[in-house]
Amino acid sequence: MTADHRKGGMGLTACLLGLLALIVAGKCSYSPEPDQQRTLPPGWASLGRADPEEELILTFALRQQNLERLSKLVQAVSDPRSPRYGKYLTLEDVAELVRPSPLTLRTVQKWLLAAGAWNCHSVTTQDFLTCWMSVRQAELLLSGAEFHRYVGGPTKTHVVRSPRPYQLPKALAPHVDFVGGLHRFPPTSSLRQRPEPQVAGAIGLHLGVTPSVIRERYNLTAQDVGSGTTNNSQACAQFLEQYFHDSDLAEFMRLFGGNFAHQESVARVVGQQGQGWAGIEASLDVQYLMSAGANISTWVYSSPGRHESQEPFLQWLLLLSNESALPPVHTVSYGDDEDSLSSTYIQRVNTEFMKAAARGLTLLFASGDSGAGCWSTSGRYQFRPSFPASSPYVTTVGGTSFQNPFRVTSEIVDYISGGGFSNVFPRPSYQEEAVTQFLSSSPHLPPSSYFNASGRAYPDVAALSDGYWVVSNHVPIPWVSGTSASTPVFGGLLSLINEHRILSGRPPLGFLNPRLYQQRGAGLFDVTRGCHESCLNEEVQGQGFCSGPGWDPVTGWGTPNFPALLKTLINP
């Protein structure tokens, strides 16, 4: 559906014009729109009120249908014990299931046209509507909104956002989940460059994590690469104001990719890819997805160059709802504190992940780089879970370090590895046994007041996250650390397993968690030593959860042992 009121659109009715007049005059009752993240992030400053005639792009998330059926279908296509396992839905099937009701579509479209919105575009599933409007029109449409111009972030990005909550007309509340493009600021990278560890002597040592170190630790041979004969592909999504450079990828592969077949360049960039300075995180994502998932066609979803009122993460979700043919594996290094987002927003994004799972997409999210996290309300400390890491419909990747940072040894917890228990999502059935076992057997549990023991627990798996080499702006950079590194590595290895499955006539892995938990960590190295960081107070003294045998909320089931993982996941 494309609507443009400048070209006539659907026409304006006297009834709706009357409704709009009442709204503008403040005589309609409102129900508050609950997605109200308004705290100004560190490093951002207001430049004052936005020009009333400045143009915005706002995204309206329309209320979907049949979500209970969607949930049951996801369970059926993702559970190896189900006769429907691997029989994924097409995008058109998903659209048929979740498409908003005709009443919702009609009501919202007419409301927006009456308000003067133009160039409104929907997606295949018809559950998002993105429209242009002026600041003046948006402030009339969404009572309470007040748009300001802000500057901040490492690249001094300009954005237009509303620091105040807004309200939807009461008649619209049953039809709209949230309006995107008002509150959330662009994310910042949590990657760290750590000091180089000190060690005496250098015989038999490595000087940081490279593709050859990863391949040695996770038991990949030179033959463990893509065949180049399938339509298999993989993707990473980037929401920072960063670019990657093809020349950096070429230099990275020249330095570190000599002992395995690999592709020389990214197959497809979705979004804007400029010529500015490369970012370390953008470079890291591409270089390690393409070296772990070696010789497999790779897409990059890139956000630089977007309009100032757009939210990159939301734009990525819209792309997933509008593309019939997508890579089976997507790796994403992005997260927000759960408590900074409204329940309505989180639940709706979680539904978008359900839609992806129903289509057989594997979504991997970094678990975060703040350990268990920490926040304090009224003097009471609690751990601080991260979203989307806490979604029950994504596979979340934690982080590890080598026991000896200069040798390819067994792994221990990387103290930054994000993990814990959701305060929003209940524990999904697929992890009931594993989490119950952890809670009943761990000798180092934090006080129960710090976490929601009945919530969705994460991460699900882990990989090395400490001490990576990255090439950015033609310069090799050592000791880069974060779960932004472990996530593309695990994703690349899953792409190699998908390659074997496709060659043997089987569907891609799809949503991995039900199978992962049924197999109780088969094919993974169990990480049993170390704890991650948390609140620096007297009660927990900076320590969150600790790893142990089996699943734990620091490293999940563990890190990949590729030949064993391949054997575990190739059939059925």
**Token reading at 224:** 């463990």
Q: Which helix (H) or strand (E) holds 281?
A: helix 280-292
Which is catalytic among the residues 189, 283, 297, 484?
484
Active site (annotated) includes residue 281: yes
The conformation of residue 126, written as its DSSP 8-state character, comes to S
Which is catalytic among the residues 177, 248, 285, 369?
285
- Residues 530, 400: Cα–Cα separation, whole Å: 9
- Residues 556, 457: Cα–Cα separation, whole Å: 9
Measured between alpha carbons, how far is residue 555 from residues 33, 369, 458, 485 in Å? 37, 12, 8, 14
**Token reading at 504:** 């043997």
Q: Note whether 56 and 133 are within 8 A (CB).
A: yes
SS3 content of the chain, % helix, strand, coil (to 5): 30, 25, 45
CA triple 225-228-232, angle to 5 deg: 85
Active site (annotated) includes residue 484: yes
Active site (annotated) includes residue 227: no
Which is catalytic among the residues 35, 281, 311, 338?
281
- Residues 106, 110: Cα–Cα separation, whole Å: 6
Q: Is 554 annotated as a binding residue?
A: no
Q: Is 552 annotated as a binding residue?
A: yes
Q: Note whether 412 and 529 are within 8 A (CB).
A: yes
Q: Note whether 400 and 417 are within 8 A (CB).
A: yes
- Residues 351, 348: Cα–Cα separation, whole Å: 5
**DSSP for 111-127, written as a single string:** HHHHTT-EEEEE-TTS-
- Residues 528, 543: Cα–Cα separation, whole Å: 16
Q: Is 135 annotated as a binding residue?
A: no
> HEC string of 438-459?
HHHHCCCCCCHHHCCCCEEEEC
Q: Is 550 annotated as a binding residue?
A: yes
Helical residues (DSSP H) of 66-149, grouped into ranges: 67-78, 91-98, 102-114, 135-141
Neighbours of 281 (CB within 10 A): 24
**Is the N-terminal amide bond of 100 cis, ω within 30° of 0?**
no
Q: Which residues contact 3 (CB under 8 A, 6 or more apart)?
A: 9, 10, 109, 112, 113, 120
Residue positions annotated with a catalytic role:
281, 285, 484
Binding region for Ca(2+): 526-527, 550, 552
* Binding-site residues from annotation: 526-527, 550, 552
